[in-house]
Amino acid sequence: MPEMFMPTSFSDERGGAILCHPEDKIRDYVERGWWRETTLLDAFDGWVRGRPHEDALSDPANLPALIGAEPETLTWAELHDRVDEIAAHLYANGIRQGDVVLVLLPNTVSLVATYLALWRLGAVATPAPVAYRLHELSNICAATGAVAVVTVGTLQDRDLAAESLSLREKVAGVETVFTFGPATESRAVSMNVPVTAEMLARSRRYIDGLLVTIGDRITICWTSGTEAAPKGVPRCHADWLASGQAAQDGLETDEASVILNPFPMVNMAGFAGAFLPWLLGGGHLVQHQPLDLPVFLAQIARHRVTHTAMPPAILTMLLQREELRASVDLSSLQRVGSGGAPLPPAVVRRWQEEFGIEVLNFFGSNEGVCLLGAPADIPDPTVRARHLPNYGAQGKQWATRVAGMTSVRLVDPVSGADVHAVGERGELRLQGPTVFGGYLEGTATSSPFDEQGFLCSGDVFELGGESGEYLEFVDRIKEIIIRGGMNIAPAEIEGLLFEHPGVADVAVVGYPDEVLGEKCCAVVVPAAEAEICLDDLVEHLRSRQVASFKLPERLEIVATIPRNPVGKIVRRDIREALFAPPVETA
C-alpha cells in the first residue's frame, strides 16, 4: 500500500459506534499483522491525495433509462467533494455515528459515494438489492433499527421514493428518506439540492471530532436467503479490508485497472469482487445495472475494461455466440471473476487459450469465506475451473497473503471428524482475518461457529490435488439430495448439464419419493430453438460416466430459473412451485 495510507487512531473510548469483534481479538490481529491499522476511508483519502485528477468512478451507461438522470464520471477529487456533500445532507437531517441507514440504490456513482459518506459520519450502511420490496425492506429496518433510507426517486417503472416512505408507517424508528435523481415525492429529502457552506462546515466539524477504529461496524449485509430467511452480517473496516486484500491479490488490480462491476454492490460479490479491489488498487470503477449484455459489452469497449465478473452462463453463451462476441472490442480484458455456479472447464480453457483472458474461480460468502482460484496458484485453466486453493494445505504458498493467516478444516458433517484424505468430503470451516464476528442479534437461531471457533460455512468441499492442496466445491449441506441413502450434489450435476448444447440454464432439485426418500429432478431452460427431453440429458450424463443413482428421473421445462440478485439459484422457490401440495379450498 502507498505510504499515504495513514493509520486511524485506535481508542477504547466509544462514541455511538459498535465493535464487530472483541477488543482483545482486534489488538491480537493487529499485532500479528493480520489486520492493518487503517480504515476504508484512509484508503479512499490516500487516492484522493495521490491521484486527484484521474478518473475514479463511472455511472452505468443506461442510467437515463434506470432513474432518469444523466451518467457521469468523477475523478478522485470530484468524488471526494461529492462524498462531502452527501455527508452534509445526511448530517443536516440527523444522521450520526452508530445510526443504521438502509441503502436502496442501484449500482451508480451515488451508491459508492453514499457508502463513503455514511462511513465518514460513523454511520452504518445496511444495503439491500433494489429488487427487494416492502416485505423484505421492513424486516431489514426492524432488525437493524434503521433510522433512514437512501434511495432514488424512480427506478424504471417503480416509485422507490414512495415505497421507501411507506416504511415510515410500517416500521417504528424510520424517520427520513433521502433520494437521488428526479424526485417524485416532496416528503423525501432530495440529494440534488446544493449544500450550503454552513452545512459543509457543520458536518466537517462533527466528522473531525469522531473517534473511529478499525473494528467499528460499517455495514450490515444480508445472507442470500436461498435456504431460509436472510440473516444480518455485520462487518467492520478491518475484516472488509482483509477480504478485499484476498480478492485484490488474485485479481492483481492496480492504478491502471478499470473494473466493471455487474453484481449488486450490496454484499460479498459486489464488495470483494469490485469495490474493494478498486479501493485498494486505486484504478477506475465502472458501474453496471441491471445485467444487460449489450450494455455490458459496450461498457467494456468504451472504458477499456481490464477486470470484470461474469456468471458461468454468460461466459458459456458468449463462446457459443461468435457474432455477438465479435461485435465488440474485448481486447482490453485481462481477468474475469466468476462464481455462484459450476464453471465448465472447457469454457475457462477456451477464454484463456483463444482470447488471452484468464477466468478466476471465486467462492465467497458474506460471513467471510473468501477463496480465489488465481492463475498464479492454479495455472491450468481446466483445473482452476473446478478447484480452489486449500489455504490449510501444508507447505503451500498462495498468491494471496491472507492464505497464510487463515486456518482451514474439512469436517465430516455426519461423524464430526476432520477430513484429511484426498477424495474425501467435508464441510468447510475456517478462521482468519476475513471472518465476521457473528450474526446480527435476532436474525439467527444458532451460532455459526463450532467449538473450536471456526466458522461453519455450510458448504461441502472435496479435497483435491495430489496432496490435498485444492478444494472442489460439492454443494451446500442443506441442498444435498439423499436418494436411498446416497448423496447427490445438485451443483455437480448442474455443472455437467451446462455442457449440453441444448441447455441455456439449469437447476437440479430433489423431489419426494415414498420409497427412496428423494429423487433428482432437472429443471431446464432450453437454449434457443432447442428441444430437450429427459433421455437426452441422461445420455449426456452417462457419456460423462456419472453414477446411475445421480441421474435425473424427472425433467421440468421452465422459462427462467429463479435466482437471487447475485445469481444463486433459489431452490426453495423451485420446490414450492413444482412440488408443493395443492392448497385445499373449501
Q: What is the pLDDT of residues 482-539, one digit of tens each?
A: 787 677 888 889 988 988 999 999 999 999 887 787 899 999 999 988 999 999 999 9
Indicate the pLDDT class of residue 175, thresholds 50, 70 and 90: very high
Asked whether residue 518 is assigned to any structural domain, the reply reads yes
Asked whether residue 317 is assigned to any structural domain, the reply reads no
Cβ within 8 Å of residue 485, ≥6 positions away: none
- Bridge partners of 180, per DSSP, are 152
Which amino acid would we find at residue 146? Answer: A
Dist. CA 315–CA 495, nearest whole Å: 13
Indicate the pLDDT class of residue 12, thresholds 50, 70 and 90: very low
The pLDDT score that the predictor gives to residue 581 is 65
Cβ within 8 Å of residue 25, ≥6 positions away: none
Asked whether residue 548 is assigned to any structural domain, the reply reads yes
Cβ within 8 Å of residue 211, ≥6 positions away: 9, 11, 13, 14, 15, 17
Which is nearest to 336 in space by CA: 300, 371, 365? 300
Dist. CA 325–CA 2, nearest whole Å: 38
Indicate the pLDDT class of residue 329, thresholds 50, 70 and 90: very high
The grid coordinates of residue 577 equal 412451485
Cβ within 8 Å of residue 207, ≥6 positions away: 87, 120, 121
82-115 per-position pLDDT tens digit: 999 999 999 999 999 999 999 999 999 999 999 9
108-164 per-position pLDDT tens digit: 999 999 999 999 999 999 999 898 888 889 999 999 999 999 999 999 989 999 999
Q: Which residue has the higher pLDDT, 523 or 293?
A: 523
Asked whether residue 508 is assigned to any structural domain, the reply reads yes
Dist. CA 339–CA 385, nearest whole Å: 10
**In this structure, what are the phi and psi dihedrals at residue 505, rounded to the nearest 5 degrees?**
-155, 155
Buried b (16+ CB within 10 A) or exposed e, 238-271: bbbbbbbbbbbbbbbbeeebbbbbbbbbbbbbbb
**In this structure, what are the phi and psi dihedrals at residue 205, rounded to the nearest 5 degrees?**
-65, -40
Domain finish residue from 236, 256, 275: 236
Burial environment of residue 6 by CB neighbours within 10 A (0 to 12, 13 to 18, 19 or more): exposed
Range of the domain at 569: 480-579
**DSSP alpha helices (H): ranges in 435-521?**
490-497
Percent of the chain topping pLDDT 70: 95
User: Does residue 60 have a cis peptide bond before it, meaning omega lies within 30 degrees of 0?
Assistant: no
The pLDDT score that the predictor gives to residue 11 is 36
Dist. CA 495–CA 486, nearest whole Å: 19
Asked if 5 and 214 count as a contact pair (C-beta separation under 8 A), the reply is no
Asked whether residue 184 is assigned to any structural domain, the reply reads yes
Dist. CA 274–CA 259, nearest whole Å: 7
Asked whether residue 220 is assigned to any structural domain, the reply reads yes
400-454 per-position pLDDT tens digit: 999 999 999 999 988 899 999 999 999 999 999 999 999 999 998 889 999 999 9
Domain finish residue from 236, 253, 282: 236
Say which CATH number the domain at 511 has.
Answer: 3.30.300.30
241-279 per-position pLDDT tens digit: 999 999 999 999 999 999 999 989 999 989 999 999 999
Asked whether residue 356 is assigned to any structural domain, the reply reads no
Asked whether residue 157 is assigned to any structural domain, the reply reads yes
Domain finish residue from 188, 210, 236: 236
Indicate the pLDDT class of residue 10, thresholds 50, 70 and 90: very low
Dist. CA 292–CA 106, nearest whole Å: 14
DSSP conformation letters of 106-143: -SSHHHHHHHHHHHHTT-EEEE--TT--HHHHHHHHHH
The grid coordinates of residue 175 equal 424517520
- How many domains does the chain contain in total? 2
The grid coordinates of residue 430 equal 475456517
The pLDDT score that the predictor gives to residue 497 is 93
The pLDDT score that the predictor gives to residue 41 is 98
The pLDDT score that the predictor gives to residue 13 is 37
- 585 pLDDT more than 80: no
The pLDDT score that the predictor gives to residue 484 is 75
Asked if 127 and 101 count as a contact pair (C-beta separation under 8 A), the reply is no
Say which CATH number the domain at 65 has.
Answer: 3.40.50.12780
191-242 per-position pLDDT tens digit: 999 999 999 999 999 999 999 999 999 999 998 755 557 899 999 999 999 9
Q: Which residue has the higher pLDDT, 15 or 148?
A: 148
Question: What mean pLDDT value characterizes the chain?
Answer: 90
